Amino acid sequence: MALSRGLADETRQLALLIRSVTDYAIYMLDPDGYIRSWNPGGERIKGYSDREIVGQHFSRFYTPEDVARGEPARGLQCARTQGKFEAEGWRLRKDGTRFWASVVIDPIWQDGTLIGFAKVTRDVTERHVAQLRLQEAQQALAQSQKIEAIGKLTLGLAHDFNNLLTVIVNSLDLIEQSVGTDARMQGWIEAALRAADRGTLLTRQLLAFGRGQRLAPEEHDINALLQHSGELYRRACGAAVEFHFDFADALPRVWVDAAQFEAAILNLVVNSRDAMPSGGTIVVRTQELLASPPESPDTPARRYVAVDVIDPGTGMSQAIVERAIEPFFTTKEVGRGSGLGLSQVFGFALQTGGFATLHSDPGHGTTVRICLPLPEEAGDG
């Protein structure tokens, strides 16, 4: 069939093609970066009609920080000197929202003179978000596997150490009975027993991390449980740090070992206090939420009661966050911490059937979240 005179015209065919494309923003810039043409794809992706955008500079699609770095001019310069510019990054829509864009800029030459640029933009936000989620899941899984291996080693060491302490304490008890009233010898024995008690506490912390401690869970209202220990947490904060609760209403009850839960929150409060040498406010917040464990974000979400301990303190870098829950890892001065606080908290959360997360940013504080599963959720699987 013969083509119509309109379609036979190459220029009209090209214009019809560009106007028919809605998944890509395809438009032309003049040599200085001002927009000279616009297609429906540009309107769908970026929100501007051709009457609004033609004649405007294309830098308005860039984020303020990219404009300040000179990214629009760099893209044109690269296309001019290298024959093409390709990049991905955040771009702005008319309504101010951001999308992740895949961008190609080609120079247009005529008789050796640059007459403009052809620019193609595609919205690849979904792909970008999926890639980020995959990377986060891979990192969380690798961290989980590392902590699992350390936990198995720690559990074995804790049991062996605990057996040795039992022999030591029993032997000291026998010696104490045989020395009679020798005050000097009694003092030595008491010092040895105090050291053994500290060793026993250490093994309990190690067992908590390795998920080998004995839990005695009972059904509790988590808000009431926190309120009951509120004065203990406030005293732990000291005079320079304020402490507040932010309770959600009507939370479902959860099964939890009250003593171990209190110890976990106390550990977090002390860590937060130490991260605020100049003072500040620690907030313990409760809420009900749907979530999946960090190492398996694609598993069906479950209902949890979450307890957040939040501080605006010094925060931690990502490198420190990745190691913070390892036993004996600490950024505190020698003698100010064993490095077992966070490891105990994370071990307790896992043994309870939930999980814990740590989010921190240098200079902007830290949030540690303990997620406790609801009874019906904890029994699944």
213, 235, 270: which is the final residue of a domain?
A: 213
Residue type, 229: S
Cα–Cα dist 161/210, whole Å: 14
User: Is residue 258 located within the same domain as residue 244?
Assistant: yes
Spatial CB neighbours of 266, under 8 Å, sequence gap ≥ 6: 229, 232, 233, 236
CA-only gyration radius of the chain, Å? 31
User: Is residue 330 located within the same domain as residue 232?
Assistant: yes
Residues 289/358, Cβ–Cβ less than 8 Å: no
Residues 269/296, Cβ–Cβ less than 8 Å: no
Domain that holds residue 165: 131-213
User: Is residue 243 located within the same domain as residue 313?
Assistant: yes
pLDDT at residue 187, rounded to an integer = 79
User: Is residue 136 located within the same domain as residue 249?
Assistant: no
pLDDT at residue 293, rounded to an integer = 85
User: Is residue 236 located within the same domain as residue 376?
Assistant: yes
Give the torsion through C-alpha atoms of 301, 303, 306, 312, to 10 deg.
40
User: Is residue 37 located within the same domain as residue 95?
Assistant: yes
User: Is residue 51 located within the same domain as residue 148?
Assistant: no
For helices 258-274 and 341-351, the axis angle rounded to 10 degrees is 150
90, 123, 156: which is the final residue of a domain?
A: 123
What does the block give as tokens for 103?
């961008």
User: Is residue 297 located within the same domain as residue 220?
Assistant: yes
- Identify the CATH number of the domain in which residue 281 sits: 3.30.565.10
Cα–Cα dist 204/323, whole Å: 21
For helices 125-178 and 183-209, the axis angle rounded to 10 degrees is 160
Tally the domains of the chain. Answer: 3
pLDDT at residue 342, rounded to an integer = 79
Give the torsion through C-alpha atoms of 191, 192, 195, 197, to 10 deg.
-100
For helices 258-274 and 230-237, the axis angle rounded to 10 degrees is 20
User: Is residue 322 located within the same domain as residue 372?
Assistant: yes
User: Is residue 293 located within the same domain as residue 267?
Assistant: yes
pLDDT tens, N- to C-terminus, the chain (381 residues): 444 454 445 556 556 656 666 678 989 999 999 999 998 888 999 999 989 999 999 999 999 999 999 999 999 999 999 999 999 999 999 999 999 999 999 999 998 899 999 999 999 999 998 888 888 777 777 666 666 666 666 666 666 667 777 778 788 777 877 776 677 787 788 888 777 777 766 666 565 555 545 667 889 999 999 999 999 899 889 888 999 999 999 999 999 988 888 888 988 998 899 889 889 999 999 999 999 888 777 788 899 999 999 999 999 888 888 777 776 566 655 444 445 567 778 888 888 889 999 999 998 899 999 999 998 755 444
Cα–Cα dist 76/106, whole Å: 9
- Identify the CATH number of the domain in which residue 114 sits: 3.30.450.20
User: Is residue 209 located within the same domain as residue 139?
Assistant: yes
123, 148, 165: which is the final residue of a domain?
A: 123
User: Is residue 232 located within the same domain as residue 307?
Assistant: yes
Give backbone dihedrals phi and psi of 296, rounded to 5 degrees, phi first.
Answer: -140, 70
